[in-house]
């Protein structure tokens, strides 16, 4: 049989034009996964213009049961901050060899979800600022 090992449900909620929207995706899998309770999380994801929006996401798998996609799914929590922008916020100073100078968060160079903070206002937007200090002998430090 094709795709009969178990079924999955993935659902996400987010804001669209100020209104909450839920998308639910259901299907069956050829892979046998252990049935687990729903795993829910929040992800900050960019749109085509680079604006970051928050999505509540839940994933479920029901293995060993037939036709379980008709079962009720777990609805993720709607991120109440979803109508505001979210930006990566951090501070670090590094030298020309990417060695940290002083106190700072080296994760700033690669970025990541743990650095995302919700902007305080609905109309706020993110801004990237970089400063470079060049020294007489060619050494430099920069703050991304």
| 85-117 exposure pattern, b = at least 16 Cβ within 10 A, e = fewer | bbbbebebbbeeeeeeeeebeeebeeeeeeebe
Rounded to an integer, the average pLDDT of 121-144 is 84
pLDDT tens-digit profile of 56-100? 899 888 866 667 777 888 888 777 554 566 778 888 999 988 899
The model carries a pTM of 0.49
Report the percentage of the chain scoring pLDDT > 90. 10
Rounded to an integer, the average pLDDT of 29-53 is 76
CB-based contacts of 44-50 (< 8 A; 24+ apart in sequence): 44/86, 44/113, 44/116, 50/126
Residue 4, burial from CB neighbour count under 10 angstroms (0-12, 13-18, 19+) = exposed
pLDDT averaged over every residue in the chain: 79
């Amino acid at each position: 049989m094709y795709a009969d090992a178990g079924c999955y449900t993935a659902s996400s909620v987010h804001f669209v034009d100020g209104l909450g929207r839920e998308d639910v995706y259901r299907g069956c899998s050829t892979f046998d996964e252990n049935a687990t309770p729903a795993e829910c999380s929040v992800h900050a994801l960019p749109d085509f213009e680079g604006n970051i929006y928050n999505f509540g996401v839940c994933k479920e798998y029901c293995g060993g049961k037939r036709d379980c996609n008709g079962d009720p799914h777990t609805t993720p929590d709607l991120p109440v901050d979803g109508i505001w922008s979210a930006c990566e916020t951090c501070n670090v100073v590094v030298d020309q060899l990417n060695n940290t100078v002083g106190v700072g968060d080296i994760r700033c160079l690669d970025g990541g979800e743990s650095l995302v903070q919700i902007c305080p206002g609905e109309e706020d937007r993110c801004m990237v600022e970089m400063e470079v200090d060049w020294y007489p002998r060619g050494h430099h430090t920069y703050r991304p």
